[in-house]
Chain A
Amino acid sequence: MNRVVVTGLGVISAAGHNAAEFWKSVSAGQSSIGDITTIPTDLLTIAIGAEVKDYEPTDHFSAKELGLLDRFSQFGLVAAREAIAESGISFEGERGERTATIIGSGVGGQATLDGAYWTIYAEKKTRLHPFTIPRLMINAAPSQITMEHGITGPAYSLASACSSATHAIGHAFHMVRSGMMDAAVTGGAEATITVGTMKGWEALRVMATDTCRPFSKDRTGMVLGEGAAIFVLETLENAQARGANIYAEICGLGMSSDAMDITLPDPKGAARAITGALKDGGLNPEDIDYVNAHGTGTAANDVSETKALKLAFGDHAKKLAVSSSKSMFGHALGGAGALELAVTILGIRDGIAAPTANYNEPDPECDLDYVPNEAREMKIGAAISNSFAFGGLNAVVAVKAFEG
């Protein structure tokens, strides 16, 4: 089996338009949640979100390119460009055929879909733009990435709601580890802050009214985010042969299904995924220093995740630094696991556990160390990033500091 390392990383999110800006903001514990400005808010009861602010599509794409790119694909492309440039990898020749492109997204081109329905039902028009389908399809992001970079290996999108990106990254990791592929471009992309989607989330009654306060007693729910994070994964052999910079080593993947409820989480299911990731990575519970939690800020998730960590780690749970980055850049749904893995990997690189922002008061049912409000300098030898989706689909990736 190959060892699998991360050689490139690209990000666009409310916390920054590239990895450096993003990490500067996140490691400082700044919350990027604010009033929604990219859509009309007159129909919304909840009008806060974590939008990619000051984003100008024309800074990144020509008018002709933009005709085919929904916002979620644009985010995927922007992050992929950064990750690929950063890694210095070339897809010329056989390398292109031996590279997979697997991108998680929960719902694909929602802005395109929302706009198309408005055109038909509200404006009563009888025809839609011919690019409606190629823009909105959920595989548009991976397809556009393969076309821009000439990556000709297996490519597809993977959807499991809030776990999409983590499932995608995990799958790509296993492909490279097994030797099926030499490299992978993988991550997640999402942009679902549309009027229709926001109304849907409002109706579920789980949206925060003030801001996202994971694990804090006074939390009122989740806040939607958006963006993308993309990684270049390679076999250690390839990375070393071309002298690439290595961020960290991906070493384990755990997956499970609760088979219980369509929205409520089951701590036992989450714990099985965590334990699975440790086993797959050859790690003992004591090896883990940091957990990037799913931490949505809902009543149900935060209590359930705390229980799951105790089930999986036993006594070691109290020693873990656990934080939720959603407190800073919201819940990017199918992109969330990728953005949070970026926080985990950059934390390993710099020896910083990013905090849980907006934390006010302890909840007796959430009694672990959530790194409240301020980042902590600490050596992170190994870490996990948790994603637990609606529908009970859990995915956890384990990462460790690279040691040759």
Chain B
Amino acid sequence: MADIEGDIFDIIAEKAAVDRGKIHANAKLEELEVESLDVVEIIFAIEEKFDVDIPFNANDQELEFKTVNDVVKAVEGLIAESAG
């Protein structure tokens, strides 16, 4: 699972133009200045990388990704699901 986390950190760094060194599990996306359109692009890149479908709707206020770890956990869950 460590690889998944690392890959997601890389994707966030690239798509939102954030310094890779500032990204850690508990970092809040807002504090990293990841904008809403960046989130959509990050999710797209993750879906392509791991071949999963992330059920993310930008209008759904319940399902918001607040921290980097929220994204990692969601992807790990989906990968485990598709492997199972």
Instruction: Point out residues on A near B: beta carbons under 8 Å.
Output: 45, 203-209, 219-221, 261-264, 297-300
Which 8 A/B pairs are nearest by Cβ-Cβ distance?
A221-B59, A299-B59, A205-B58, A205-B40, A220-B59, A298-B59, A206-B58, A205-B57
A residues less than 8 Å from B26 (CB atoms): none
B50 interface residue (CB < 8 Å to A): no
With beta carbons under 8 angstroms apart, the residue of B53, B56, B58 that contacts A298 is: B58
The closest CB in chain A to the CB of B36 belongs to A264
B59→A208 contact, CB < 8 A? yes
Question: At the interface, is chain B mostly helix, strand, loop or mixed?
Answer: loop
A residues less than 8 Å from B58 (CB atoms): 204-206, 221, 298-300
Chain B window 52-71, contacts with chain A (Cβ cutoff 8 Å), 1 for yes, 0 for no:
01001111110000000000
30 contacts between A and B (CB under 8 A): A45-B53, A203-B44, A204-B40, A204-B58, A205-B43, A205-B56, A205-B58, A206-B58, A206-B59, A207-B57, A208-B59, A219-B59, A220-B59, A220-B60, A221-B57, A221-B59, A261-B37, A262-B37, A263-B36, A263-B37, A264-B35, A264-B37, A297-B59, A298-B58, A298-B59, A299-B58, A299-B61, A300-B36, A300-B58, A300-B59
Range, interface on chain B = 10 to 19
A residues less than 8 Å from B44 (CB atoms): 203
Q: How far is the CA of A285 from the CA of B37 in the complex (A)?
A: 35
Instruction: Point out residues on B near A: beta carbons under 8 Å.
Output: 35-37, 40, 43-44, 53, 56-61
With contacts A204-B40, A220-B60, A297-B59 known, what are 9 further pairs, Cβ within 8 A?
A45-B53, A205-B40, A219-B59, A221-B59, A261-B37, A264-B35, A264-B36, A264-B37, A300-B58
B residues less than 8 Å from A297 (CB atoms): 59
Give the one of B56, B59, B60, B61 with max A CB within 10 A: B59
